[in-house]
Amino acid sequence: MLRPTIRLGRIAGVEVGVHWSLLVIGALLASSLAGGLLPALVPDAGGSYWAAAVLATGLFFASILGHELAHALVALRRGQRVEGITLWLMGGVARLRDEARDARSELLVALAGPGASVGIGVAFLALGALAGAALPSGSLLPAVASYVGAVNLLLAAFNLLPGAPLDGGRVLAGLLWWWHGDRRRAQIAAARAGRAVGALLVAVPVVQLLAGGGLNPWLALVGWFVIDASRAEEAQARVARRMDGLRIGDLLPRPQPTAPAWVTVEALHAAHPHDATVVLTDFAGAPAAVVAVPVPGPVPPWARARDVAVPLAALAVLAPDAPAVAALHEGVPVLVVDGDGRVLGAVGAAELRRAGVPGPGPLAGAPG
Ligand SMILES: [Zn+2]
């Protein structure tokens, strides 16, 4: 998952961060604005092209944040938890912890972002027109406002291309889900449409190049990203379909493998020769930590099991009757605890594999 490099803080309760790759795009965008577009729009400017370019870039990034915040706030209202927003190379991503509860939520969350972009775009275009009428010619501010307005409308249009992981793909998934009632079938269809959209995005600059036009690697890169992400989404939807109808309790091994926390990794492997998620117990016999067996990575055989284990406090806790797919959202291993606070066991990668999940990865409804 995309983790922010710098945390900016919280807006309306949503954690906002920036990935370092955004700085690369910021520098490219500002330099192309200062060195090309702005001098072309306003040849005899009364101010600095660079200052205007930096302002336009900042406003553009703020608009992307507005787009993602709209996704996040609607998701929160529809009962989905939001991990945070990260701005990065490809724009922004709102990381949602839960899947939409119903087709209506899926649709509303997906439409919120492009809706915000259209609103911001129209507002800046109007501002640009007003500033153009009010300010003396040679002022860069009208050009900056019109640029930010136009770019927001473009952003909305691009994001509405009908293929997951783009917002338009989620709209498509929501509509199909509403139409035939099968969420996974809808998601798989939207992901396949995403592959077609991605292929089209890659094809456009290739055709341009063959026709003697300039090289436009950016669109191809975005297309490649869309193809890659849509493949991952289709795989996730297939996995989720396999788990639909299962409860976390169904995945629990019976009996739950346990071991004392102080045994060596060598002894742990000897006691549990097969893939398992082992609950480690303290001297009083109470659960203290969870470890995947075989222990991944280079670990000396004399290391203590507790030193390579995840302490209970660091684990997500699920009730046995929670849907099994929740284990994918929380990230394994998860601790299974009943209503009285009793630890029933742990579900890890081994239990997911046994349930037919190939390689557990994060499963997030994350609109771009
Ligand atoms: Zn979006």
266 is catalytic: no
Q: How many helices (H) and strands (E) does the chain have?
A: 12, 11
Start-to-end CA span in the chain (Å): 13
Question: What pLDDT, on the 0 to 100 scale, is given for residue 191?
Answer: 95
Beta bridge partners of residue 85, listed in sequence order: 16, 94
The CA-atom distances, in angstroms, between 13 and each of 9, 76, 105, 121, 248 are 9, 10, 20, 25, 30
DSSP 306: G
User: Taking all residues of the chain, what is their mean pLDDT, rounded to a whole number?
Assistant: 87
- What is the whole-number distance in angstroms between the Cα of residue 219 and the centre of ligand 1? 17
Per DSSP, what are the bridge partners of residue 292?
Answer: 277
Quote the ligand 1 centre to 337 CA distance (angstroms).
Answer: 36
Q: How many CB atoms lie within 10 A of CB 189?
A: 21
* Å from CA of 147 to ligand 1 middle: 20
Give tens-digit pLDDT for 32-41: 887 778 777 7
Q: For the chain, what are the domain ranges? A: 6-243, 248-354
- Which token pair is 62? 């703020």
Residues 338 and 320: beta-carbon distance below 8 Å? yes
User: For residues 34 and 48, what is the distance between their CA atoms, to the nearest angstrom?
Assistant: 9
What pLDDT shows up at residue 359? 57
Residue 1 pLDDT greater than 60, yes or no: no
State in Å: Cα 55 to ligand 1 middle. 23
Q: Which residues, in sequence order, are CB contacts of 299 under 8 Å at separation 6+?
A: 265, 308
User: pTM score, two decimals?
Assistant: 0.78
CA distance 108 to 101: 11
Catalytic residue among 68, 233, 330, 351: 68
Q: How far is the CA of 68 from the centre of ligand 1 (A)?
A: 6
Note if the bond before 255 is cis, omega within 30 degrees.
yes
Residue 267 has pLDDT above 50, yes or no: yes
Q: Provide the CATH topology of domain 248-354.
A: CBS-domain (3.10.580)
Between 97-111, 327-341, 352-366, the lowest mean confidence (pLDDT) is in 352-366
DSSP line for 28-76: HHHHHIIIIIHHHHSTT-SS-HHHHHHHHHHHHHHHHHHHHHHHHHHHH
pLDDT of residue 357 exceeding 80, the answer is no
Report the SS3 class of residue 259: strand
User: How far, in Å, from the CA of 197 to the mean position of ligand 1?
Assistant: 16
Dump pLDDT digits (tens) for 95-131.
888 888 899 999 999 999 999 999 999 999 999 889 8
Each residue of 198-246: pLDDT tens digit?
999 999 888 888 888 777 788 888 899 999 999 999 988 888 888 888 8
- The CB-based long-range contact list for 172-175 (8 Å cut-off, 24+ gap) reads 173/106, 173/110, 174/100, 174/103, 174/104, 174/106, 174/107, 174/110, 175/103, 175/107
Q: Residue 242: which H helix or E strand, with range?
A: helix 217-243
DSSP secondary structure of 103-154:
HHHHHHHHHHHHHHHHHHHHHHHHHHHHHHHHSPTT-SHHHHHHHHHHHHHH
